[in-house]
Amino acid sequence: MITYLENERQFQLDTPHASYVLTVAEEGYLLHTYWGKRIAPQDLTDLLRLSDPPFVPAKNERERASFLDCAPFDFPCAGIGDYREPAIVLEDGAFACDLRYVSHRIYNGKYAPRCLPHTWGNGCETLEILMRDEPTGLEVKLHYTVFEGIDAVIRSVSLENCGSRDLMLRRVLSASVDLDDDRFEMITLYGSWARERQAERLPIRHGKQRIDSTRGESSHQYSPFFALVRPETTEESGEAYGFTLIYSGNFTAQAELTQFCQTRAQIGIEAGSFAHCLSTESEFDAPEAVLVYSEDGLGGMSRTFHRLFTDHLIRSKYRYAERPVLINNWEATYFDFDLEKLKTIADEASRLGIELFVLDDGWFGRRDSDNCSLGDWVPDQRKLPGGLKPLTDHITGKGMRFGLWFEPEMISPDSDLFRAHPDYAVGIEGRPRTQSRAQYVLNYARRDVRDAVWAQMKEILDTVPVSYIKWDMNRQLTEVPSPAFYHPYMLGVYQMLERLVTEYPDILLESCSGGGARFDPGMLYYSPQIWASDDTDAKERLRIQYGASLFMPPSAVGSHVSVCPNHATGRITPFETRANVAMFGTFGYELNVAQLSDDEKAQIPAQIARWHSISRLIREGSLYRLGNPFAPTGFAAQQNADYDAWIFVSADQSDAVFTYVQITAEANMKSRRIRLAGLLPDAVYAYELGGKAYQKTGAYLMQCGVMLANLWGDMTSVQLRLRTL
């Protein structure tokens, strides 16, 4: 609900448990007034300290700069006296901009940033505030949307050049919030290839603490997410402010603790790798930012992100639908396969009940290694005589569905496409291009380049029955011709994805970027699932999946059972635990099933049946993290990091699945008691543990917990299904 108090010129956005308040102060400054636990609409303007001289510009012109350098702006400008990080920088000979309130409107529905992924749906209300920089004629609309029942504010920014000169935009962030204290710790997710989304929690200090990407993708190294939490905030209690960006390219996310111990929190497109010429009468949209407030700790914050993204961002028909259990041949064969080998895997997979066979990299051109053929999307007749059809006939004949890997944004120097069109690759005139994984990036800002790839993909999709696509992207951008290139590149990628999901709406799309370098909300708009990491080791996955779940829905986490010793770590873990950990997200296998032991094969049909019986809980239920897999020296100093546990609870709380993983076994250790969460206190839940049937109230399970025996061996696990009587 959005309220406007006319006398105070104060806007209030209320969600079930939170309020976000803005004030139009003297001279049209838009000031952030309050964001926190819900409060009844009332005059909050004294929080702005405007009545304390000398900070009233109209009454104290000589101290105008002091006012500008400490007032809590909700969209701060550069060049006029606020020396903190600005949200907008434009170059008009100089770098100054001074946005003042012009008008506002409040309406049902929301603004959809053009050509960008965005939240959608009914049951939302938007506050639109029009601001203007008089000297240049730049008009900026700030959009604030709230969805019924969700403790989030969705912000976006659209600009229009209503002046008579072209303006160069050098920075347009999507959200900036000035919080009025310094008692925060900042949680960010750092990582690397095969080690994505490691959570880090540190007190903020004076100055700027920033994560970003200038790689042309949201990246393995940092995720476009951060949270500001109180020192006392835990998983289930305390304040948490979460920020993310619905965008898959370069981003910046930062907290700045100022001289007056205020905290400016910001998120948006990274400014150093951004430029956009806004010619007269033209418009520009910045991506949506999502701001979540929770007084129920990190868990509450994450559940809000999950609910918003599941109900109002993912569009695929698979959003709430049962997804097929897949088998992917990558770790089973890498590039070394032929029709017979694939058939052997498919035969065994189908016998065990696996429903979708995914053919990964290596099926096209002459791709025996990652050295060549990207851009030549024609089946390799040496490996697949007669093309894909004999394989797809075989697979569909077994009653399985067929999925296919593409890397549509890339071109190998050794490819027919590059030989014919070297100019298709991103580069700078007169400078050699840098290879990465022996490949270049296609110039997706060009429509003809996208069309050339699309024509080839379409040929395949119209010839064989492809019901799943894995869209991969295996290198970062280099030799980018100008900072004005990155954003159009990203828009080109989104246009291709839009074309794919519009023309082939039945295809289940899984996006991927060398594992999880594009594991971001922008991608969710097109693909309901995203390959989370090339690290399939169950122990490492506990951390990666924990980090991912801080802001992304578990239903999006691509997660597979692979062989041991694991290809990323060499670690050996029980087959059962690998399955229990993969059931945190979308569930599949990535191994040669034909080579498994009889005992492992025997477990697969039961795992698939179990998965189908719980998958709705993972897609539509609520996640409560009950453990923390990070080392006691790091994020989880207060926790015992030797186990991890979580529970998914259905919307009506009558059904739940609890998973416990004992990471390290210890000799002579007592059984461990884990308190559950999210249940109905008075309902009685039935479950089986260690061959014994139990009936306990939700209150018992949440206050006293379940008693889990000390298991024999590392990475052992237990999964319990709890249902009300």
Least distance to ligand DGJ, CB of residue 409, Å: 13
Least distance to ligand DGJ, CB of residue 472, Å: 5
Least distance to ligand DGJ, CB of residue 535, Å: 10
The catalytic residue among 98, 133, 472, 714 is: 472
Count of residues engaged in binding ligand DGJ, rule: CB under 6 A: 11
Nearer to ligand DGJ, 274 or 471 (CB): 471
Structure tokens that stand for 254 in this block: 């930062």
DSSP 567-599: TTT-----HHHHHHHHTTSEEEEES-GGGS-HH
Burial of 128 (0-12, 13-18, 19+ CB in 10 A): middle
DSSP 158-209: EEEE-SSS-EEEEEEEEEEEEES----EEEEEE--TTS--EEEEEE--BEEE
Q: How many CB atoms lie within 10 A of CB 636?
A: 18
Query: Using the rule CB under 6 A, which residue among 515, 627, 629, 678 binds ligand DGJ?
Result: 515
Q: Taking CB under 6 A as the rule, does residue 25 contact ligand DGJ? A: no
Least distance to ligand DGJ, CB of residue 364, Å: 12
Q: Are 409 and 248 in contact (CB under 8 A)?
A: no
Q: Are 439 and 376 in contact (CB under 8 A)?
A: no
Least distance to ligand DGJ, CB of residue 200, Å: 24
Interacting stretch for ligand DGJ, rule CB under 6 A, among 48-56, 182-190, 310-318, 509-517? 509-517
Query: Using the rule CB under 6 A, which residue among 405, 440, 454, 611 binds ligand DGJ?
Result: 405
Q: Are 624 and 678 in contact (CB under 8 A)?
A: yes
CB under 8 Å, gap of 24 or more: what pairs does 204-210 form?
204/228, 204/255, 204/257, 204/263, 205/257, 206/257, 206/258, 206/259, 207/256, 207/257, 208/85, 208/254, 208/255, 208/256, 209/254, 209/255, 209/256, 210/252, 210/253, 210/254, 210/255
Distance CA 591, CA 92 (A): 57
Interacting stretch for ligand DGJ, rule CB under 6 A, among 136-144, 494-502, 510-518, 544-552? 510-518
Active-site annotation holds for 472: yes
Nearer to ligand DGJ, 300 or 585 (CB): 585
Least distance to ligand DGJ, CB of residue 219, Å: 14
Nearer to ligand DGJ, 217 or 235 (CB): 217
Nearer to ligand DGJ, 405 or 525 (CB): 405
Binding string, residues 297-336; x marks residues near ligand DGJ by CB under 6 A: ---------------------------------x------
Q: Taking CB under 6 A as the rule, does residue 217 contact ligand DGJ? A: no
Q: Taking CB under 6 A as the rule, does residue 288 contact ligand DGJ? A: no
Nearer to ligand DGJ, 98 or 360 (CB): 360
Query: Using the rule CB under 6 A, which residue among 474, 527, 562, 592 binds ligand DGJ?
Result: 474
Q: ∠ CA(468), CA(490), CA(95), 5° rounding?
A: 160
Active-site annotation holds for 534: yes
Q: Taking CB under 6 A as the rule, does residue 365 contact ligand DGJ? A: no
Nearest residue to the partner ligand DGJ, using Cβ? 361
The catalytic residue among 534, 535, 655, 714 is: 534
Interacting stretch for ligand DGJ, rule CB under 6 A, among 98-106, 511-519, 541-549, 627-635? 511-519
Nearer to ligand DGJ, 531 or 584 (CB): 531
Distance CA 689, CA 691 (A): 5
Query: Using the rule CB under 6 A, which residue among 212, 472, 576, 600 binds ligand DGJ?
Result: 472
Structure tokens that stand for 703 in this block: 């206050």
Region 334-363 residues binding ligand DGJ, contact defined as CB under 6 A? 360-361
Chain center to CA of 501: 19
Q: Which letter does DSSP use for residue 464 in this model?
A: S
Distance CA 99, CA 115 (A): 25
Distance CA 286, CA 294 (A): 25
Q: Taking CB under 6 A as the rule, does residue 621 contact ligand DGJ? A: no
- Give the CA distances from residue 562 to residues 339, 352, 570, 600, in Å, rounded to whole numbers and listed in that order: 22, 16, 12, 12
Q: Is 297 left (phi over 0), alpha (psi -120 to 50) or beta?
A: left
Region 122-141 residues binding ligand DGJ, contact defined as CB under 6 A? none
Nearer to ligand DGJ, 147 or 406 (CB): 406
Q: Helix, strand, coil: what percent of the chain each, to 5?
A: 20, 35, 45
Q: How many CB atoms lie within 10 A of CB 192?
A: 12
Q: Taking CB under 6 A as the rule, does residue 471 contact ligand DGJ? A: no
Least distance to ligand DGJ, CB of residue 360, Å: 5
Q: ∠ CA(327), CA(332), CA(333), 5° rounding?
A: 120
Region 159-188 residues binding ligand DGJ, contact defined as CB under 6 A? none
Query: Using the rule CB under 6 A, which residue among 514, 574, 678, 698 binds ligand DGJ?
Result: 514
Structure tokens that stand for 605 in this block: 């049909």
Q: Taking CB under 6 A as the rule, does residue 531 contact ligand DGJ? A: yes
**Residues acting as catalytic residues:** 472, 534
Residues that bind ligand DGJ (CB under 6 A): 330, 360-361, 405, 472, 474, 512, 514-515, 531, 534
